[in-house]
Chains A and B, each alone.
Chain A
Amino acid sequence: MPEAIKLLQVSGLRTEFRTPAGAVQAVRGVSFGLDPGETVGIVGESGSGKSVTALTILRLIKSPPGRISAGSVKFRGIDLLAQDDAYMRSIRGNRISMIFQEPMTSLNPLMTVGDQLAEVMQWHQNLSRREGMNRAIELLRKVQIPSPEKRVRDYPHHMSGGMRQRVMIAIALACDPAILIADEPTTALDVTIQSQIMDLMLGLKDEFGSAVLMITHDLGVIAEMAQRVIVMYAGQVVEAGSVYEIFDEPLHPYTQALLRSVPKLGSRTEKGRHRLQEIPGLVASLINIPDGCAFRERCRFAGPECNGAIELQAAGDGRMVRCIKVA
């Protein structure tokens, strides 16, 4: 099909992990695209495969036990899964960079933040250490760290959690990447700091123009930041659409139930301490997954027709849903 080359096109991605209990199928045929400058949110609960999807895109899956068993990740038309390690090293932190949840464990405790920032640019842009340090100060200023000339010589343990996450963002943006993958970037932070980091990311996104793949379990963060949303459950995309479509008119029973089960600020009625709408049962196990809809055992609409293979289907302009009852 003659189609414009996407910035990022993930197709039929499958990742599994070998364990004594059997193969854990963490990602089971995930496909989506990302356009320049847009922010796509991937939302899901523990074990939905959202983080493994992100790690697979950058080939950060340890093998063994992990294995990328099928699919392709095309970055500007080039399949990253078919490239050698040297090529991947030239992509990571340069064209596609990543921010992780825990800024304490993802920074090197033995290097100053300035050296860590400069290292990225020395590696990818052949800057000298001095040039790298000057750029590092500039970047720390961009992420609004006060007195960056001093802070550049700090070690991570000198900084608060919010500051460390700012440093992580500075490192990720150092080489002006085309894609920024943010895996739960605000989850470990207090709410007032989370709010600062979200504002910072929204501002820098406009300035740098990177596309952002935002991975989170927090529907509030998604509503605040994303333009398009992908909902994952048990290693599959169950629904995709614009942020307004997903929140205003969710189609998949899982998305509907998820939105209803979140306690919303200001939703408690006078005197009425109503029970929350819960989703019964447990999150599906990813070992020996039966055919059919993975959500059916927790779904109030499920019927015998849900036991067969269910494809992700188009449901209107750009919307996708994996439910036989809807499509």
Chain B
Amino acid sequence: MTSAVAPGPLLRVNDLKVHFNAKSAPIRAVDGVSFDLARGETLGIVGESGCGKTTTGMSIVNLTQATSGDVIFDGVDLTHLHSLPKSRQLELRRRIQVVFQDPYSSLNPRKTLTQTLDKPLRIHGLTAAERKDRIAYLLEKVGLSPKQADRYPHEFSGGQRQRIGIARALAVSPELIICDEAVSALDVSIQAQIINLLLDLQEEFNLSYLFISHDLAVVEHVADRVAVMYLGKIVEMAPYQALFTDPQHPYTQALLSAIPVPDPRRRGARLVLQGDVSSPLNAPSGCPFHTRCARKSSVCQVVAPPLTGIAEDHSVSCHNL
């Protein structure tokens, strides 16, 4: 049970910036990202390589240090986590967990499933008996058999390993799970199993998900709201219905149209975007997307458009809507 339900969102990210190599030529990996996430809600973050979606997720849990901006989790600013007492830090860390993309490299190959799951429980102060019960409970929740508890990661398939990764995240009863490309490395038949598992767990534990993915079809399936990122900025954010049926930003439109649909009768309907994804190494001035945009005008090369609300919960950053 959570304590009294706070008014306000569980997570509020405000003008988050992550700049690497900030002294000489800064790489603006994340450049002013803001969003809210409510309890039990899923926010999808989509975009292509280098758009800053993973860096955004990692800076929320301090795996990457934010350059500026606030990450307010249940009223506490996580960017100043280190100034809090250790016990308070531990408590906050317990409440946010991460499921990573690659179930091969994110599990310690020299630890059995039990050892992997035992560690976080011990850190968070459970007794041996409690830990044993908890591990059995977790395995059952993610669809693994207690008989497999003493096996090593290499004895499991990719899908099973991702179940272990989810069990590890769930172990300490978090409220927010950051899923960073959590199903991207999996075969489609296994991907469906893991997506269903994540949906079931969310319903049971009222989890909030920050669901980071490049796969728009998966995001449409799991997210309540979706933020589209391009070169470190959110270019469009909307509830999933609006984003997928009525996208407004030219990049969102192109991204949606570029996906090959598994239906041969709809072939050739793709809108092909010219040019490469710009690199944050030499980001263009003005609107980050203007180098590839069919709708660009002179103002786009100079002034970066702000993210502006166009309908309830629907905001877009474009000069030429």
Contacts and interface: CB of A to CB of B under 8 A. Distances in A.
A208 B262 CA distance: 26
Interface in B1-60: 48-49
A193 B259 CA distance: 10
A203 B121 CA distance: 57
Given A195-B273, A261-B188, A276-B195, A244 B264 contact: yes
10 contacts: A46-B187, A190-B48, A195-B273, A199-B272, A217-B188, A223-B266, A224-B260, A224-B268, A225-B267, A263-B192
A276 B192 contact: yes
B214 interface: yes
B259 to A, nearest CB: 6
A327 interface: no
Contacts of A279: 189-190, 192-193
Interface in B185-226: 187-193, 195-196, 199-200, 214, 216-218, 220-222
B273 A190 contact: no
Interface string A130-148: 0000000000000000000
B244 interface: yes
Nearest to B254: A192
A264 B187 contact: no
Contacts of A101: none
Nearest to B278: A160
B260 to A, nearest CB: 3
A218 B266 CA distance: 15
B159 A194 contact: no
A264 B217 CA distance: 6
Interface string B271-308: 11110110000000000000000000000000000000
Interface residues of A, number: 48
Nearest to A227: B264
A281 to B, nearest CB: 9
- Name the residue in A194, A224, A258, A277 with the highest tally of chain B Cβ atoms < 10 Å from its Cβ: A224
A264 to B, nearest CB: 6
B320 interface: no
Interface stretch (A171-179, A266-274, A302-310, A315-323): A266-274
B157 interface: yes
Interface in A207-247: 217-225, 243-244, 247
B310 interface: no
B158 interface: yes
A224 B267 contact: yes
Contacts of A266: 220, 244-245
Interface string B89-114: 00000000000000000000000000
B188 A258 contact: yes
A220 B268 CA distance: 12
A283 B187 CA distance: 9
Contact of A263 (B157, B158, B220): B220
A201 interface: no
Contacts of A195: 258, 260, 270-273
A160 B275 CA distance: 11
Contacts of B271: 195
A266 B160 CA distance: 29
B277 A193 contact: yes
B280 to A, nearest CB: 13
B214 A223 contact: no
B241 A270 contact: yes
B136 interface: no
Contact of B191 (A261, A267, A268, A270): A261
Interface string B125-143: 0000000000000000000
B263 interface: yes
Given A191-B48, A266-B244, A278 B189 contact: yes
B276 A193 contact: yes
A151 B200 CA distance: 51
Nearest to A285: B157
B214 A191 contact: yes
A243 to B, nearest CB: 4
Given A192-B255, A282-B160, A283-B157, A263 B240 contact: no
A275 B199 CA distance: 8
8 nearest A-B residue pairs (beta carbon): A220-B260, A279-B189, A190-B48, A195-B258, A219-B262, A45-B187, A276-B192, A261-B192
A113 interface: no
A223 B260 contact: yes
Nearest to B220: A268
A190 B49 contact: yes
B76 interface: no
B189 A257 contact: yes
Given A273-B199, A275-B196, A196 B272 contact: yes
A220 B158 contact: no
A273 B222 contact: yes
B259 A191 contact: yes
Contact of B264 (A46, A160, A223, A276): A223
A9 B193 CA distance: 37
A161 to B, nearest CB: 8
A11 to B, nearest CB: 28
Given A46-B158, A195-B270, A220 B199 contact: no
B261 interface: yes
Interface string A249-267: 0000000011101111111
